[in-house]
Every structure is written in C-alpha cells, then in structure tokens.
Chains A and B, each alone.
Chain A
C-alpha cells in the first residue's frame, strides 16, 4: 500500500480539478492505471439480473476500446462492472468508501483480492482503519467520477445514491452516459430522470466513444490490435476446448453431450431428448464433464466453460 498526497506528481491530474479533491489517496495495486483514460460504471446495489448483464457487457466492450473501468466495489452494478472488466482481460479500479482493513461489503473481500491479483488498483482516501459509513460512500462517489472522463449509469432508482454520483459528475463537468429504461421500470426511474436533465442517452459502446474527440472507436471487424487480441483469446479458448476434447472426450456420449451444451441446450431433459440417450447415461456424462472442468452447473442447467 502506498500513500500519495495532492502535492505528489503521481496524484491524478483530473482529480485535482474537482471542487474538493481528496488531500491524500491510499493506493494498493497497479498505480499506472491512474494515467489511463478512465470511464466509471455505476448503478444500484439492488439491481436486476439484466442490469448486471448490461454492466458486464459495457465493461468488457469498453475494455476492448482500451478504456480502464472504475467503480465503487459495492454490491450489484459496481461488482458486475469490475467482474466484466476482468473477464475481458482488463484491469479495473475500485474506489472504496472505507479503509483497506475494513472491506465492505464483506462478501466482496474475494473480489477485492481478485482485482489486485488481476493487476487492478484499489483507491481510498481514508486511512486503512476507517470503518465503512454511509456518508463516506457518498463522498467516495466524487472520487469515482473525479478520476473518470465519463460516467456510465446503468440502473438507478428514484432518489438513489447513483443519481447523486451522476449529479456530482455533471458538476465536475464529466460526461454522464445513461442507458434508457421503460417508463414504468422502477429500476430506471433515476436513469430516465437523468436523461430528462440532459445526460447523454446511449445504447452502445460506440455511442460512448464517439462522445470523446480524443478517442477513436476501434472497429471489431476490421483488422486491429483488439481484433488480434480477440483472435488470440478465441484461439486459446479453442485450444483449451480441443485439449479437453482430445484428452477427456474420448467417450462418445460425453462428446455428444458437450457439443449439445455448447450449442445452447442447457437443460438435462433437452439434452437427453436430442441425443436420444437415457437420463442415466446423460447424468453420467454430465458428471464426468463437470469434474473435468469442461462444463459448469448454472441455474436451469449447464453451460460450457
């Protein structure tokens, strides 16, 4: 852990510009990330499955655009944003509203470790022994937006902390991006209100990138570094699959079951029906595949890893 003050040259420039910048920052992990273009993804702690999916989607797509994702490591959207970034192979910044010795919420201790392991950065303005308090979280939000060039609001209920962050971001002259929601969606009241007040409505990652003159959208289809990265990633994944297929899937039924799951048949009965095998044959194959790490149990069935 390192401590930097506002006088240090490592102190992020964009953070100095805000109205009440933190006098000191405690950092743990990869401090280089502070020099990157940062966009933060924020939203309700109490979010919907769909919100979580969208947070992950935008986090991973922005990562592909060489953007560093920051968030507040709270439950819900924040966690999804961090996880989505890391799943896309990116490094993420988490800004805490408490000291390093009192990670909150407790279930995110693993996430906290994972962020550091994956080359990310943890930021807090509070000394390590500061306990979590609700007012500190509101103050934390000004750092989240202060570090960023823009803030993406995924979900926000009426009068939520997320709306406050967005307001802060606006006063810091950061761009505020918002995903639109149905008008009677209670998880979207806050976001829709933000749009009414002039936030930028976006529906794709390109919309975000196009709002910055300094950034250029990297097309995925054209030959580009990102594309190559992705290709390599796909190849590695394919090799991994091939390896399991070769080593383990010498068994015909297992191979068939694996392919069926890969093609989106996740439910046991479905697999049994399509392969015309008995349930006991299928369960046998499923267990072997699962022990092998080729598939994983999820709600409603199985998916390939």
Chain B
C-alpha cells in the first residue's frame, strides 16, 4: 500500500518501524524527544517508545557518538541524530578513530551497528554551519558506509537497511527535501542499499547525483529535453561504496558524464567518480567527466547560497560544455 508522505515523515515512519520490530534499536540526539528534533524527524517517537529508547542527550556530539559506540558494544543498535551537518565535527574523532575502525581492530569480533543521521546541505537560508555537505570527509574513511536518499521512498527503505547493517552508516538526509512528498510503499521489496538507480533514462549524457541534487538533475533533464537533448539521470544513493558498475553501464551508453553535488568540487565525490570512470570507460568517453558543485570557499551567508550551490543553469552549462566536445 503506497502512501504519499514527506521525506522527513518517511524517515520518521522508518524509525518507528525499527523501534517496533527490534527492541535493541535506540534513538539518541539533541532535542529528539519531546520536541521531535528540530526538523521533527523523530516526532512522537519518545511519546510512544519512552525515554529509555528515544533519548534526549546532553549537547555534546562526541559524547553522543561515543556513548552510542558503548551501547552498540552492549548489543544495542543506536540511531543517533547530529542536529546539523556543521555540528558533526566534535564527533568526528569518535567516528573516524573508533566507530570506523573497531571492527577491523577486533579482527571482526566487534560489530558496531550505529547509524549517524545528519541533515545536510543548503538551500534553506540558514545561518553558518547549517548548510554544509561534508560527505566526502566520511566517504574517505574506510570502515564507514555513507548514503543519502533523494526521495521519500528511498528515505524509508534506506533507513531500514542502514539500521539492519552491521557496519556503521553515515546517513545524510537532504534537509531541503524534507518536505517533498513522495509515495512510500512499506510493503515493497527494496533494492540493495548501495545500488544506484536510473531515475530517468536517456541516451546523450549521464547526470549523476545523490541526495538533494537528484531533483535538480531531473529538472535539468526536463529543461534539456525541451532543447532536444536526451539526458539520463542516475541517483547514486550511496557515496561509500559508490556503485561504479551502474555509472559505468550508463556512461558506456551515453558516453558523457556530469557529476553534481552541493559539496565543494575540490576533493569531492565527483573527483573520485571522474577518476574511476575515466579509468573504466576511457574508450567510451567522448568528453572529460565534468563536475558541478560548491566552490572552494567557506559556505557563504544565506543571501549568497543560490550563487554558491549548483542550479539549473550551472548544470545546463556543464551539459553544454560536455556535449560540445
């Protein structure tokens, strides 16, 4: 039965389902209890599952992740919320040196099924540290998995799968899409968590994106279609691992690739995609892999973010440049 719901609500439903089906699942974070989180993603969960399972924590991100590790060692499956992207860095040490490495350090004897939820990205007119896209900083770390849904259905299912994963998962939620509605079929059988999906078939060029930029790429494809260009849009869904097989299959067909993300282009996930796809598809490519993303500058004040973030025209410009080769 497919229900139409906002992306934030889909995550809420997913968390509710996880809390219902596994008594070891816990929700932790700042303001996740009575308030339901600043984006209301955990709305109503503490009321229904109690303070022992939906835990308002002190304002200390390292403490949140560090204690979640301890709870995971005790057999729990904590889902922790970092309130905003720019607030994750106090926890970065615990995530990188402990959460990511303990399974390897123990030669596989310790598993840390911890999900770190991070609302990320810009476009909501927020103050500093509330609009960042730090996914590459986590994708660079072995031991972590990094995913980002672009729509309500994926948000629901990918959260289920992230919670079931025995590896730590950094779950980037596209906060500017929280209120976008989509159909969620809670009885469907989802595809694998780390598999990309072709969300629009095309023949002339592949647009690859994840999270908040998928919708933009679909709009770009619509606009390009009016000009007679037939673009394929690939929703990568997972940043670590990246589904290079799907990107390769698409590029072998279209021979052109443009990668779009909000994060800075420099050392961003697009760089890794460009390098690997150049290696895999060298003889198929008609143009170098192009990237559209943020600039190598601190995320600007809200009045400038439209200039900083990829938009329709900037992506179309890259599409034209690629097609001009």
Binding between chains A and B: no
A-side residues, CB < 8 A to B, are none
